[in-house]
Amino acid sequence: MKADPKGVLTGIHFMDGDHACCEGALAAGSRFASGYPITPSTEVVERFAARVPTVGGAFIQMEDELAASITLQGAVWAGAKAFTVTSGPGFSLMMEHIGYAAMTETPCVFVDVQRGGPSTGLPTLPAQADMMQARWGSHGDYEIIALCPNSPQECFDLTITAFNLAEEYRVPVMFMMDECVGHMTEKVVIPPAEQIEVVPRRHTKKSVEDYLPYGTNGDLVPEMAHAGDGYNFHVTGLTHDERGYPDMTLPTQDKLVRRLQNKILNAVDRITMTEEEQIDGADVVVISYGITSRVAQRAIEAARKKGLRVGKLRLITAWPFPEKKIRELAAKVKAFVVPELNLGQMVREVERAAAGQAKTFAVSHAGGGVHNPEDILKVIVEASRCRTV
Amino acid sequence: MSDSLINDLVNPVEPFLRSDRIPHIWCPGCGIGTTVNSFARALIDSKIDLRSLALVSGIGCTGRVAGYVKLDSFHTTHGRAIPFATGLKLANPKLNVVVYSGDGDLSAIGGNHLIHAARRNIDLKVICVNNLIYAMTGGQTAPTTPDHSTTSTNPYGVFEPSFNLPHLVEAAGAVYVARWTTFHVRQITKAMSEAFQKKGFSFIEIISPCPTLYQRRNKMGDALDAMKYYKEKSKVRHGAPTSEVGMTMTGEIIVGKFVDRERPDYQTMMRAQYTESLGERYVEEPEMVCDCS
């Protein structure tokens, strides 16, 4: 379906990534956010708090991130599309409710504008060091989707995508911004509402008698009902059967947890988005995401000027990881170079997927700034000299 | 008696329960089921639209209530029933939202949410079954465990002061505060029915026995002894200053309706503020419920 024009601020704007993210949420149909202040993310909900009473919705500032990360889920079960916004320390506090959303299949979006850590770390300078936490932070086995915008325009566009994926797969989607992208001001084009595709809730059309809250169809994603619809359904974070009833048995656990994984893993090709440039015939492929992809661009162009055959692969979706693509590429190139604002997180996935077919070079950075393109260039040059494995 | 006559005998609370989930997990003598019985009768008495009613629980013995009531019911995470319920209520103001959880869940791990929901005066009915202990996990000290009791984590006796929950929530802003024990089944039903009529943050504390852990460990007998204790030591004092209703291990239990006052609830204040500031630009929030077509 098309976006509700009330929430769409059509036009050409000059705005930062945080504000663009807020506009993306409104365009996607989100009318509820709960949050707790933390730099460099707060501007997203500050704008939402100003905008949402004029389009029909609510923002509530909760007492902490534990509350913020579950208040939005109550709103989702009442029928709203909802999100919360935070940065590292708050993201740590939200982990339990990312698990709850995964287990209860609550469609929602968690925005993390990353800053340097660990702990209070670097308020409020950039990092990309929450990437593994986004994937693995809550206990137990589950899958999430994580997107990495690299510009204010993408903060708008991909926030809509994040909400759409959340609804399509009934999964919490992590929107992994970083301080640079959040505070960078650029041109943002917001199209007319009729050009924005919005995925509606998978609301059941079944009768009360026929409805099974966690019964699934072919694509492994169950249909939802909302509180007040008359279905008298039960939702629990306990291991549950198709009725949504607690059932702490091995077969039910096995069936449920595998389905939570497979509904995402079976759709990896449909979910993952990458941006590629001069991959064919490349000796070295630079894999990056978020703000680092823009810094890496300069290093890639400098390397090409030196005559090196360098390709670019940008991860727009970090999770699920495009494992198959990397594996196929690893058979064709000499090496991967992976710059990121952490001491080595997504590079481990690249190395694992490459499985020894191509060498993997990390270009680590402790955060607080972005790479010097020269540092990435040096590693590209080194990587292009390495022997084919 | 013929079979058909037996089949006609339906307990009046049965339509409110998920009979397919019985037997429940609560121990013999536990008071939680008693409170659920009173709750179901309050639903009958108040003629509340069941379709509009959502029940939210946290984690623990009382947290399991959500799994046994035939309502839209949510078993959330430990301590977070109130913020989840806040989201439900704000996104669909037409819902009547009940939070049904235990003393540890609501006042320890969820204590911050309890006081802030009372401060905001979110329109929630909070039913706190207080069994004075962490029961689901095996009898550890709760913020409500009376001084000198023995628990598995205070094997030599509890020496930290306990929370007086009515005093806490009144100070934080609750508009309705009552306490009863599971001996007072009719009073519980009446208090719940009254709370359904209130707009704002209502809090009903129900002192409830835990024969398996609290009483056994403290040599306080079984469930019947608990009823005798509640009967003998409960003193009804409506309107008692909540500062005077703190509990001790074997002393009097002050019960009654302590607070019943009017204060605009969160959504009323929100709408008034937006209307004042935004005028015609303000769009009321029920439109947020997404188009699921």
Q: Which residue of B has its CA nearest to A58?
A: B285
Rounded to the nearest angstrom, the minimum Cα separation between A41 and chain B is: 21
The answer to whether A31 faces chain B, any CB pair under 8 Å, is yes
Which among A54, A70, A203 has the least Cβ separation from residue B84?
A70
CA distance A203 to chain B (A): 6
* A243 burial via Cβ count (<10 Å: 0-12, 13-18, 19+): middle
Contacts with B, A 301-360, CB within 8 Å: none
Q: How far off is chain B from A55, nearest CA to CA, in Å?
A: 6
The pairing of beta strand A317-319 with beta strand A145-147: antiparallel
Residues 77..96 of A with a Cβ closer than 8 Å to B: which?
77-82, 96
Angle at B256 between CA B255 and CA B259, to 5 degrees: 120
Contact map slice: A 99-118 vs B, CB within 8 A: 100
Long-range contacts of A368-371 (CB under 8 A, 24+ apart): A368/A116, A368/A122, A368/A125, A368/A126, A368/A127, A369/A125, A369/A126, A370/A126, A370/A180, A370/A291, A370/A292, A370/A295, A370/A341, A371/A292, A371/A295, A371/A296, A371/A299, A371/A339, A371/A341
Which of B71, B75, B270 is closest, CB to CB, to A238?
B75
Longest dimension (CA), chain A: 69
Tell me, yes or no, if A48 comes closer than 8 A to chain B by beta carbon: no
Task: Give the pLDDT confidence of B45-104 residue by residue, as tens digits.
Answer: 999 999 999 999 999 999 999 999 999 999 999 999 999 999 999 999 999 999 999 999
For residues B29 and B209, the answer to whether their CB atoms sit within 8 Å is yes
- Residue-wise pLDDT for A373-385, tens only, equals 999 999 999 999 9
Contacting residues of B for A229, CB less than 8 Å apart: 51, 72
Interface of A with B in 200-219 (CB under 8 A): 200-201, 203
Residues of A within 8 A of B283 (CB-CB) are: 6, 53-56
Residue A196 sits at the chain B interface (C-beta within 8 Å): no
Q: Report the relative pairing of strands B53-57 and B72-75 from DSSP bridges.
A: parallel
Cis ω on the peptide bond leading into residue A322 (within 30° of 0)?
no
Given a cut of 50, whether residue B1 has pLDDT beyond it is: no
Suggest the residue from A52, A65, A71 to mutate for an interface test with chain B (most B CBs closer than 10 A): A71
C-alpha distance from A37 to closest chain B C-alpha (Å): 16
- Domain A275-385: assigned CATH number: 3.40.50.920
Which 102-141 residues of chain B touch chain A by CB within 8 A? 112-113, 116
In chain A, which among 238-257 make CB contacts under 8 A with chain B? 238, 245-246
Q: Kindly determine whether residue A234 and residue B18, on different chains, have CB atoms separated by under 8 Å.
A: yes
* Domains in chain B: ranges and CATH: 14-265 (3.40.50.970)
Q: Is A123 helix (H, G, I), strand (E, B) or coil?
A: strand
Q: Is B75 in the A-facing interface, judged by CB distances under 8 Å?
A: yes
Length, in residues, of chain B? 293
DSSP secondary structure code for residue B162 in this structure: P
Predicted ipTM of the assembly: 0.97
Residue A68, pLDDT score: 98
Domain boundaries, chain A: 5-195, 275-385
pLDDT 10s digits, A307-366:
999 999 999 999 999 999 999 999 999 999 999 999 999 999 999 999 999 999 999 999
- Higher-confidence position of B2 and B241: B241
Instruction: Report CB contact under 8 Å: B285, A29.
Output: no
For residue B249, the distance in angstroms to the closest alpha carbon of chain A comes to 33
With CB atoms and an 8 Å threshold, state whether B283 touches A235.
no
> According to the 3-state scheme, what is the secondary structure of A163-201?
HHHHHHHCCEEEEEEEHHHHHCEEEEEECCHHHCECCCC
Is A74 within 8 Å of B88 (Cβ atoms)? yes
Residues of chain A contacting B124 with CB distance shorter than 8 Å:
none
Rounded to the nearest 10°, the torsion over CA B190, B208, B125, B76 is: -150
Within its chain, how far is the Cα of B132 from the centroid? 14
What's this model's pTM, rounded to 2 decimal places?
A: 0.97
Indicate the pairing of strand B96-102 with strand B53-57: parallel
Q: Backbone phi, then psi, for A144, in 5-degree steps? A: -130, 175
CB A70 to CB B80 under 8 A?
yes
Q: Report the run of H or E that residue A271 belongs to, with start and end.
A: helix A268-271
Q: Does A140 touch chain B (CB under 8 A)?
A: no
Contacts of residue A29 in chain B, CB cutoff 8 Å? Answer: 290-291
Residue segments in chain A with a per-residue pLDDT below the cut of 70:
388-389
Say if CB B55 and CB B65 are below 8 A apart.
yes
User: What CA–CA distance (Å, rounded) separates B86 from B81?
Assistant: 9
B91–A73 CB contact, under 8 Å? no
Interface test with B, best of A109, A232, A238, A243 (most B CBs within 10 A): A232
**H-type helices in B17-164, by residue range?**
32-46, 81-91, 103-104, 111-120
Å between B221 CA and nearest CA of chain A: 32
pLDDT tens profile B124-172: 999 999 999 999 999 999 999 999 999 999 999 999 999 999 999 999 9
- Residue B105 Cα to chain centre, angstroms: 11
A33 at interface of B, judged by CB pairs closer than 8 A: no
DSSP B289: S
B70 vs A1, A232, A237: nearest CB: A232
Instruction: Name the CATH superfamily housing domain A5-195.
Output: Thiamin diphosphate (ThDP)-binding fold, Pyr/PP domains (3.40.50.970)
pLDDT digits (tens, 9 = 90+) for B267-279: 999 999 999 999 9
Distances (CA, A) of A273 to A157, A192, B177: 13, 24, 54
Find the CB nearest B95 among A54, A78, A230. A78
Q: Where are the beta strands (DSSP E) in B80-224?
A: 96-102, 124-130, 176-181, 202-207
**Rounded Cα gap, residues B94 and B113, in angstroms:** 22
In DSSP terms, B205 is beta-bridged to: B128, B179
Q: Taking 50 as the threshold, does the pLDDT of residue B293 lie above it?
A: no
